[in-house]
Chains A and B, each alone.
Chain A
């Protein structure tokens, strides 16, 4: 029987995969942004599951807004990445040490 537990477990494993991706990944800024997308996907799945099992539509409305903000954030993040690539010539995270003391 498909219950809420399974959706929540799925969303938490997805969230931790995204989180581990951010921690493990040290070589590429684009993969970092993709792992942030994974985090947001996990949270959205969580909201959808709760919205379904508690019979409230507000969960889906919040997902709507999260999708909007995630798309906006991705666009701005990629614009910053392109600018960084133009100035630094690389997108490795280890090379972004301009603020290092």
Chain B
């Protein structure tokens, strides 16, 4: 097995192709699957493959953040929302293949456009990287908290606004018109609620005849 680690075996190419293929196949299945819960699970697989690719590109912090935040929070949110919708409403009833042709045209045109831009970038390669003394997390932190401090605070503000928006949109308000004063409630005595009236006994009244 040690031939996998020798100089001649292109281990990084094999890893890249494996994870890239996994990513593209699961992204395709997100789009093509009939069941949105399956789509969500394929998207989670796509995120894991993408995190592996990012770690290969030496962005370890962001690769792990992708798994923790994106999969752990955002996709969990997706699945929770999918849980609230009854299953029969979710399944694809009939496929709209009329739009498939425009979808394919979009894919082809866009990839051709990107290929035109790719030509200058062939020279750069993965191993030409100068190793620095700081880890990736530290390098991000050094820039994020100094040069990019203001955008960082703004990002926090964006998250706050999103929390307020999401809660205020989806909260069910109890329309409570009666306000209860608990102190009054527990200090009630029988005298304030009941009044006993003494009545004289009366003769028994015969029951009415049922309707003829």
Contacts and interface: CB of A to CB of B under 8 A. Distances in A.
Physical interaction between A and B: yes
B62 A37 contact: no
A49 B46 contact: no
Contact of A41 (B39, B47, B57, B155): B47
11 contacts: A1-B125, A10-B53, A14-B27, A17-B28, A18-B31, A21-B103, A24-B99, A31-B31, A31-B36, A75-B165, A83-B169
Main secondary structure of the interface of A (DSSP, over half): helix
Closest 6 CB pairs of A and B: A72-B162, A12-B114, A21-B31, A20-B103, A79-B169, A79-B166
A78 B81 contact: yes
Interface size classification for chain A: 35 or more
Given A7-B57, A28-B90, A19 B110 contact: yes
Contact of B169 (A24, A28, A52, A80): A80
Interface stretch (B143-151, B177-185, B188-196, B204-212): B143-151
A34 B39 contact: yes
A25 B33 CA distance: 10
A8 B114 contact: yes
B124 A35 contact: no
Interface on chain B toward A: helix, strand, loop, or mixed SS? Answer: helix
A5 B118 contact: yes
Given A48-B62, A52-B59, A16 B31 contact: no
Given A16-B106, A72-B158, A72-B161, A27 B40 contact: no
Contacts of B84: 82, 85
Contacts of B140: 57, 60-61, 64
B103 A48 contact: no
Given A25-B31, A31-B30, A65-B151, A16 B74 contact: no
Given A48-B59, A51-B59, A30 B16 contact: no
A91 B82 CA distance: 11
